[in-house]
Amino acid sequence: MPHPRAVGLLPRRVVWSAVAVVLVASYLPLAAVLASAMEGGVTTVLQHALSVLTDARRRGLLTRSALIAAGATLSAVGVGVPVALLVRHAAPRARFLLGSTLILPLVVPTYVFALGWQRLVDPTGPLARFAGAFGAAGLPLPDLATAAGVVAVLALRYLPLVVLGASTGFTRVDPALEDAARLVHPPPWVLARVVLPLARPEIVASGLVVFNLALVNYTVPSLLRVPTFPVEIFAAFSGLLDVQAAVGLSLPLLAVGTLSVVAARLVVGKRPLAVAARRTPPEPLPAGSRLVATRTALFVLLAITVAAPLAGIADMVSGPQSVVEAYRLAAPQVWRTVGWAMVAATLLAAHGLAAGHLVARSRSLAAELLFLLPLALSPTVLGIGLIRLWNRPYLEGVLETTAVLLLVYVGQLVPFTAVPATASLAGVPRALEEAGMLSGMGWLQRMRLLLLPLAWRGVAVGWLLAFALSLDEVGASILVQPPDGETLAVRIYNLSHYGAAESVGALCLIVLAIVAVPLLVVGLVTLRRSSALLPSAPSP
Amino acid sequence: MSPFQRARTFALSLTLSAAFTLTGACGPSSEGAREVVIYTSLDQTFSEEILRLFEQETGIEARAVYDTEAAKTTGLVNRLLAEKDRPRADVFWSSEVARTLQLQRRGVLAPYRSPAAAAIPESFKDPEGYWTGFAARARVLVANTDALGEAERPRSIFELTQPRWQGSVALANPLFGTTATHAAALFAVLGPERAKEYFEQLHGNGVAIVAGNATAKDRVAAGEFPVGFTDTDDVFVALANDQPVAMIFPDQEDGGFGTLLIPNTVALVAGGPHPDEGKRLIDFILREDVERRLAFATGGQIPLRDSVEGPPSVPRLKDLRVMEVDYEAMADQLEPSATFLRELFLE
């Protein structure tokens, strides 16, 4: 699998370790489930897979799911890229605040995020009450229980991924290059022909992640009562306990996911990418009408993407006492989940660096697919696969401790660290590494002294994503968490089904507070590095 | 080692220690300690308290995995099926009966006739001892008291197909939880054709599918729908919170169809690691005082034994007209009814 061009720069053992991690954590559980489903008859599984061609209802559901995923991707990219551009031109402190705030909704569990929106636009919800207080009672509110509603909620849910990806991509654009282009071309031309093409790998990569996440998402369409293909799969798994049907039906989704990777590769192409020699942040916008318009646009966006869902969640909580009480009851779950999420994010970030290096240097489609396709892996399939794989006498103990959560998080989240790392490393010239080799630097030194300083944003983004998404994981955790080893996400999920909205809201606020810490740290590091790169102010 | 390197090593050690401290050592008990592993879908609020009492009384540690019966994830049943070749649980305590029957049919359960269940009517026990029912809920209608006066409220689930209730009824996803059980029971009692006709009429009358029974109750309480299908425990919780709702036991008139009773079920897992402790836990759960405790809890579970008294708000079994359903026949209908309803509601 590893390509010779990549192996030359990293020791074989490192490359193979990166491959082994994804094989063991993501693909072996899938193989275990496939094998058990095939025991009942290969033909039955294939018949279910091929039913999307013969059964009009299933074909319709798959088409709807693909359209919803495409709609959510286009909406998230359509809004996220301009937002990242606006953030890029903000002053350093504002950039830090905006960047951190925009990512915040990502850490709210998907189910609760959708619930928050549903509550917000409910005829008795905060928006209706707000409108009523200002004499606009009876204001028509959007109906989210439609395919368009699912697209909107998914796009808002995954918008931070695009903002993060595009922001990372824009750091590769040397403002000097932009300034030079602006001397001969108008700004729209510079944006379309210089800035966006340079950030294209990160933008496309984030779009790809959004597409695949939206494609397999069960929670949002299920809550909003919109039938989709993942809902059909889940009905087979849970309603009918038909593993063969569920596995067979998962295969078309995997095929659509593979097609999306190929399509993304065609969009990005193989062109070598220009790299900013000196990563000077662009100048903040000068005071004037453009600045006012930019601030207004960002304010509106923050209101829609961050304040609105958080208001929906805060509306569930009656006061600070509820938060204190919820914490008192769920403290073990909180810290258990945070601890394993930290460990998983750190391991995944290291893995992402090696995997990203392999993909960026080899440009091999097989390697890219290897690290991306776990995106299309259903959490339920992963959970069942982990049980089938690890529940053996000679592996006694693996499923007995909460360490199994590490397998759950790594198995699902490999793409979230590999993709941003690949995009960032693709911008680091190969010649730089070769020069390091010639000067006698070992691979660890090259990683630490050459690659990390240039690609740290991709690694940091990957860490944040892995950490935040670990806190949201339910589907596989609920199947493998050991007795008395409940995770926070599972607790929130169970509470939401018991109708304990107050506790759900309070726990979500606690999660937000916890995730704000690493966000703050990454943001401050970015701010410090950006400030260090800015030219010093002239002395008075 | 330079001061920088020492600081770096210290920081790394600190991070790892913090992470491992936070994660905690949540593993099996130390060697020699007695324990039992239970998977339960009864609300953790109620089941946890009973398990702690068991621990205090027996000294056996009860290690639990909790789930919701709404099963929006595949949950405990799929977990038990996946673990079938090497079970890790000893006891399965379900808040309903249908999933237990599915597990029995797939060979996950072992027979055990608990002496504590002697007074429980035979109709709530498996003839071969694979499971035992206790503390039941009933399928009921919940009505918003602000929207519907007492005389206006429906008395039968069959009224809800009439034009008067067009777009006015909330129903939890019929593929999961007790709504799926209710559907299978209707298929078994009415016959598949009449049951299909009933659900088609409900669908044609604009019944709104919501996330779960608790949501159905919440949306009725909020006034979005005047009436909804749910379970007794959800309505008891709403009444305890002074929400404007009323509970209707449907089809109670003389010669009426009756309401579906859904008992909790407890079963021994075949080949579980601690069978003796598992049996002791089942004996404990099936005790009269536990059933009484569940009757007095907020969910107000209906005792199946005459000798167990609940609060006045919880009806006695003998005062209810109960749908006469053979649970085995109901289990036969789980798959056909789910397949039909999936195509009707997930079109």
One-character DSSP codes across A48-115: HHHHHHH-HHHHHHHHHHHHHHHHHHHHHHHHHHHHHHHHHTS-HHHHHHHHHHHHGGGGS-HHHHHH
Using a CB-CB distance cutoff of 8 angstroms, which residues of chain A are in contact with residue B26? 336, 401-402, 482, 484-485
Q: Looking at the complex, does the CB of residue A497 fall below 8 Å from at least one CB of chain B?
A: yes
Using a CB-CB distance cutoff of 8 angstroms, which residues of chain B are in contact with residue A332? 24
Tens of pLDDT, residues A156-201: 888 888 888 888 778 777 777 878 888 888 888 888 888 888 888 8
Using a CB-CB distance cutoff of 8 angstroms, which residues of chain A are in contact with residue B37? 483
Q: What is the pLDDT of residue A160?
A: 85
First-to-final CA distance of chain B: 68
> What's the CATH class of domain A41-315?
mainly alpha
Which range is least confidently modeled, A120-129, B308-317, B336-345? A120-129
Residue-averaged pLDDT of chain A: 81
Q: Looking at the complex, does the CB of residue A181 fall below 8 Å from at least one CB of chain B?
A: no
Position A394 pLDDT exceeds 70: yes
A 343-362: CB under 8 A from B: 343, 346
Position A533 pLDDT exceeds 50: no
Same domain, yes or no: B215 and B339: yes
Distance from CA of B119 to the nearest CA of A (A): 31
Which range is least confidently modeled, A404-408, A444-448, A461-465, A532-536? A532-536
Residue identified by tokens 């100048």 is A283
CA atoms of B86 and A20, how far apart (whole Å): 26
Residue in A222, A241, A474 closest to B77 by CB: A241
Q: What is the pLDDT of residue A540?
A: 35
First-to-final CA distance of chain A: 60
Taking an 8 Å cut-off on Cβ atoms, the answer to whether B73 and A482 are in contact is no
Structure tokens at A345: 């994010």
- Of the CA atoms within 13 Å of residue B124, those in its CB half-sphere come to 27
Q: Percentage of chain A with pLDDT > 70?
A: 88
Residue type, A96: F
Q: Which residue has the higher pLDDT, B107 or A281?
A: B107
pLDDT band of residue B68 (cuts 50, 70, 90) is low
Q: Which residue has the higher pLDDT, A326 or B50?
A: B50
Residue-averaged pLDDT of chain B: 88
Best residue in B22, B29, B73, B84 to probe A by mutation, most A CBs within 10 Å?
Answer: B73
Q: The dihedral of CA B312, B313, B314, B317: what is its sign?
A: positive
Tens of pLDDT, residues B174-231: 888 889 899 999 999 999 999 999 999 999 999 998 878 888 998 899 898 999 999 9
Burial class (CB in 10 A: 0-12, 13-18, 19+), A318: exposed
Same domain, yes or no: B341 and B226: yes
CA atoms of B34 and B51, how far apart (whole Å): 14
Q: What is the pLDDT of residue A471?
A: 86
B 94-113: CB under 8 A from A: 102, 106
Q: What is the pLDDT of residue A287?
A: 59
Distance from CA of A57 to the nearest CA of B (A): 7
Tell me the mean pLDDT in the region B150-158: 95
A401 DSSP assignment: S
Cβ-based contacts under 8 A for chains A and B: 169
Best residue in B74, B209, B298 to probe A by mutation, most A CBs within 10 Å?
Answer: B74
DSSP string of A36-54, one letter each residue: HHHHT-HHHHHHHHHHHHH
Using a CB-CB distance cutoff of 8 angstroms, which residues of chain A are in contact with residue B78? 237-238, 241, 380, 384, 479
Taking an 8 Å cut-off on Cβ atoms, the answer to whether A384 and B45 are in contact is no
Which range is least confidently modeled, A17-26, A203-212, A281-290, B170-179? A281-290
Tell me the mean pLDDT in the region A470-493: 85
Neighbours of A339 (CB within 10 A): 19
Position B31 pLDDT exceeds 60: no
Residues present in chain A in total: 540
Position A293 pLDDT exceeds 80: no
Using a CB-CB distance cutoff of 8 angstroms, which residues of chain A are in contact with residue B15? 342, 346
Position B274 pLDDT exceeds 50: yes
Q: Looking at the complex, does the CB of residue A231 fall below 8 Å from at least one CB of chain B?
A: yes
Taking an 8 Å cut-off on Cβ atoms, the answer to whether B342 and A238 are in contact is no
B220 within a domain of the structure (yes/no): yes
Report the complex ipTM: 0.73
Taking an 8 Å cut-off on Cβ atoms, the answer to whether A57 and B347 are in contact is yes
Taking an 8 Å cut-off on Cβ atoms, the answer to whether A391 and B74 are in contact is no
Of A165, A153, A255, A151, nearest to A204 by C-alpha is A165
B73 within a domain of the structure (yes/no): yes
Same domain, yes or no: B293 and B147: no
Structure tokens at A32: 């275990």
Q: What is the pLDDT of residue B188?
A: 95
Tens of pLDDT, residues A129-155: 888 888 777 777 888 888 999 999 999
Using a CB-CB distance cutoff of 8 angstroms, which residues of chain A are in contact with residue B21? 339
Position B122 pLDDT exceeds 90: yes
Same domain, yes or no: B121 and B144: no
CA atoms of B247 and B145, how far apart (whole Å): 10
CA atoms of B272 and B90, how far apart (whole Å): 5
Same domain, yes or no: B146 and B255: yes
B42 within a domain of the structure (yes/no): yes
CA B169 to chain centre: 22
Q: What is the pLDDT of residue A286?
A: 58
Same domain, yes or no: B114 and B229: no
Same domain, yes or no: B201 and B158: yes
DSSP string of A319-361, one letter each residue: -HHHHHHHHHHHHHHHHHHHHHHHHHHHHHHHHHHHHHHHHHH
Q: What is the pLDDT of residue B7?
A: 45
Q: Looking at the complex, does the CB of residue A40 fall below 8 Å from at least one CB of chain B?
A: no
Question: Which are the contacts of A53, defined by CB distance < 8 A and separation ≥ 6?
Answer: A59
B273 within a domain of the structure (yes/no): yes
Same domain, yes or no: B101 and B246: no
Best residue in A484, A487, A514 to probe B by mutation, most B CBs within 10 Å?
Answer: A484
Q: Which residue has the higher pLDDT, A83 or B51?
A: B51
Position A4 pLDDT exceeds 50: no
Taking an 8 Å cut-off on Cβ atoms, the answer to whether A497 and B68 are in contact is yes
Of A318, A305, A311, nearest to A120 by C-alpha is A311
Neighbours of A506 (CB within 10 A): 28
Taking an 8 Å cut-off on Cβ atoms, the answer to whether A124 and B223 are in contact is yes
pLDDT band of residue B72 (cuts 50, 70, 90) is very low
Query: Where is mean pLDDT largest: A16-30, A134-148, A237-251, A512-526?
Result: A16-30
Question: What SS3 string covers chain B?
Answer: CCHHHHHHHHHHHHHHHHHHHHHCCCCCCCCCCCEEEEEECCCHHHHHHHHHHHHHHHCCEEEEEECCCCCCCCHHHHHHHHCCCCCCCCEEEECCCHHHHHHHHCCCEECCCCHHHCCCCHHHECCCCCCEEEEEEEEEEEEECCCCCHHHCCCCHHHHHCHHHCCCEEEECCCCHHHHHHHHHHHHHHCHHHHHHHHHHHHHCCCEEECCHHHHHHHHHCCCCCEEEEEHHHHHHHHHCCCCEEEECCCCCCCCCCECEEEEEEEEECCCCCHHHHHHHHHHHCCHHHHHHHHHCCCCCECCCCCCCCCCCCCCHHHCCECCCCHHHHHHHHHHHHHHHHHHHCC
Contact indicator for A381, A475 with CB cutoff of 8 Å: no
Q: Looking at the complex, does the CB of residue B274 fall below 8 Å from at least one CB of chain A?
A: no
Residue of chain B minimizing CA distance to A246? B74
Same domain, yes or no: B170 and B224: yes
Question: What SS3 string covers A106-125?
Answer: HHCCHHHHHHHHHHHCCCCC
CA atoms of B228 and A157, how far apart (whole Å): 31
B18 within a domain of the structure (yes/no): no
Q: What is the extent of the structural domain holding B146? A: 137-260+333-345
B121 within a domain of the structure (yes/no): yes
Position B87 pLDDT exceeds 70: yes
Residue type, A306: V
Q: Which CATH number does the domain A10-40+318-533 belong to among 3.30.450.40, 2.40.50.220, 3.40.720.10, 1.10.3720.10?
A: 1.10.3720.10
Structure tokens at A317: 């909580």
A374 DSSP assignment: G
Which range is least confidently modeled, A506-520, B42-56, B162-176, B261-275? A506-520
CA atoms of A509 and A507, how far apart (whole Å): 5
Residue in B23, B63, B223 closest to A340 by CB: B23
A42: left (phi over 0), alpha (psi -120 to 50) or beta: alpha
Position B10 pLDDT exceeds 60: no
Same domain, yes or no: B176 and B305: no
B65 within a domain of the structure (yes/no): yes
Residue of chain B minimizing CA distance to A481? B65
Taking an 8 Å cut-off on Cβ atoms, the answer to whether B211 and A241 are in contact is no
A536 three-state secondary structure: coil
Position A90 pLDDT exceeds 80: no
Tell me the mean pLDDT in the region A278-291: 58
Domains A10-40+318-533 and A41-315 share a fold: yes
CA atoms of B118 and B9, how far apart (whole Å): 65
Q: Looking at the complex, does the CB of residue B3 fall below 8 Å from at least one CB of chain A?
A: no
Which range is least confidently modeled, A76-85, A112-121, A248-257? A112-121
Residue in A219, A240, A388 closest to B339 by CB: A240
Number of domains in chain B: 2
B328 within a domain of the structure (yes/no): no
Q: What is the pLDDT of residue A151?
A: 96
Phi, psi (deg, nearest 5) at residue B135 = 30, 95
Residue in B23, B79, B339 closest to A387 by CB: B79
CATH code at B94? Answer: 3.40.190.10
Q: Looking at the complex, does the CB of residue A159 fall below 8 Å from at least one CB of chain B?
A: no
Using a CB-CB distance cutoff of 8 angstroms, which residues of chain A are in contact with residue B43? 498
Q: Looking at the complex, does the CB of residue B297 fall below 8 Å from at least one CB of chain A?
A: no
Residue in A239, A403, A480 closest to B338 by CB: A239
CA atoms of A211 and A261, how far apart (whole Å): 10
Residue in A335, A391, A494 closest to B86 by CB: A391
Taking an 8 Å cut-off on Cβ atoms, the answer to whether B24 and A339 are in contact is yes
Domain boundaries, chain A: 10-40+318-533, 41-315
Using a CB-CB distance cutoff of 8 angstroms, which residues of chain A are in contact with residue B85? 391
Same domain, yes or no: B295 and B254: no
Question: What SS3 string covers A415-482?
Answer: HHHHHHHHHHHHCCCHHHHHHHHHCCCCHHHHHHHHHHHHHHHHHHHHHHHHHHHHHHCCCCHHHHCC
Q: What is the pLDDT of residue B25?
A: 42
B 199-258: CB under 8 A from A: 209-212, 214-215, 217-218, 222-224, 234, 237
Q: Looking at the complex, does the CB of residue A493 fall below 8 Å from at least one CB of chain B?
A: yes
CA atoms of A285 and A287, how far apart (whole Å): 7
Q: Which residue has the higher pLDDT, B200 or A381?
A: B200
Which range is least confidently modeled, A46-50, B127-131, B136-140, B225-229? A46-50
Q: Which residue has the higher pLDDT, A88 or A486?
A: A486
Residue of chain B minimizing CA distance to A37? B82
Taking an 8 Å cut-off on Cβ atoms, the answer to whether A380 and B237 are in contact is no
Query: Where is mean pLDDT largest: A221-230, A451-460, B101-110?
Result: B101-110
CA atoms of A139 and B210, how far apart (whole Å): 24
